[in-house]
Chain A
Amino acid sequence: MKITGLISLIFIGGLLFYGALDFPPWGDPTSPASSHLSPYYIEHSIKDTSVPNVVTAVLADYRGYDTMFETIVIFTAGIVCIFLLRSFKEKAPESRMYRHIPTGIILRIEKGGKVPHESEYFEHIDSVWIPYDLVIRTTCRMIIPFIQVFALYVIAHGHHSPGGGFQGGVIMGASFVLFAIGFNLRSAIKQMSEKIVAFICALGVLIYAGTGVLCMFFKANYLDYSALAPLLRTDPVTARSHGILIVEIGVGMAVMAVMVVLYYNLSSAGKHDEGL
């Protein structure tokens, strides 16, 4: 079995390499992709959309459909992760660990035992105990605001520099993941509950699709942002630039929420109770 797998792998890999030999060389100006489509984008993107970063103009404006369905793919991935991993049935765990804060004593309470309330005296800690270091907590607390500001900058500045909704959303989601690692999963869920995350996820996709529908109300094609000019009180070219920003914000929200959902479900095996 292993031998046949190896042989078929080598055969298909060789076929792939043989096919790749026919590609035009990297950066060839006479290749079909660089001789028909790319010149149009490079020459017209600043005139059409007033966006200096051609990649953003192509992604969110000329190829708006592609990006919208990419966002929907990510949204679907988040939903599927919830359906596959989330266990809604509350099952009492084998044992729970509590720390009595004034004395530092750790209590292990077996199944069926009386569980103390979370208060200033008792603290629920993970059974796979991770010592919560003061240095880690303080560093996370100091660094997270800067990460979030940087994420917003990446989303908003995608017109002028590399970046955009996807990258900014991932960085924003990473800041919540860092919070969950530095503190614990329960305090992260307390900050941003599962329902809010799911709502933001759907809202992001809705903003993107809704912008397209809004364009249709102004008698233009779907996702033709220049039609939004009367609404945004600008000329059609600037309206396309603003439209790109609006959909990038939608993409960022959806991606951020999906990253957080994936982390919540993967790290706690769908129980949202004790996790990394």
Chain B
Amino acid sequence: MIWQIELIILVLVVLFGFGALATKDLLSAAILFGAYSFLLCLLWAIMGAVDVAFTEASVGAGVSTVLIVSAVLRTTRRTDH
């Protein structure tokens, strides 16, 4: 695997992780979390753990994002303070 691509993905994973924690808008945090999961799935695939990557793609990037969004719709969209 080309190490430049790995480095870019790793940096993006960390950025999206911090972004999901830092944003006040919960809906964008949910989407950022989905992007974080998807990039993590790419990292698993690079390391050869294809089964784990598949699980991460379906559970982390797929269903859990939908569950978080549906939970956000039942509360206020922004975190205050």
CB-CB under 8 A from A166, the residues of chain B are: 55, 59
Pair B59/A170 contact, Cβ less than 8 Å: yes
Asked if A276 and B73 sit within 8 Å, CB to CB, the answer is yes
Q: A165-216: which residues lie under 8 A (CB-CB) from chain B?
A: 166-167, 170-171, 173-174, 177, 181
* Interface SS of chain A: helix
Q: Which single member of B63, B70, B73, B74 contacts A170 (CB below 8 Å)?
A: B63
Output the residue of B50, B51, B71 with the most chain A CB within 10 A: B51
A266 near B62: Cβ-Cβ < 8 Å: no
In contact, A263 and B74 (Cβ under 8 angstroms): no
A163 to B59, CA, bound (A): 12
Q: Is the CB of B63 within 8 A of A259?
A: yes
- Interface: A26 (CB within 8 A): yes
Min CB–CB distance B79 → chain A (angstroms): 15
Instruction: Say yes or no: A262-B67 contact (C-beta < 8 A), given A163-B51, A276-B73.
Output: yes
Does A164 make an interface contact (CB < 8 A)? yes
Which A residues touch B59, using CB under 8 A? Answer: 166-167, 170
Residues of A within 8 A of B50 (CB): 162
B58 interface hit (Cβ, 8 Å) = yes
- Complex: how many Å from CA A99 to CA B63? 31
**What chain A residues lie within 8 Å of B62 (beta carbons)?**
170-171, 174
For B74, the chain A residues whose CB sits under 8 A away are 266-267, 269
Cβ-closest chain A residue relative to B70: A267
Chain A interface residues (CB < 8 Å from chain B): 26, 53, 55-56, 128, 162-164, 166-167, 170-171, 173-174, 177, 181, 259, 262-263, 266-267, 269, 275-276
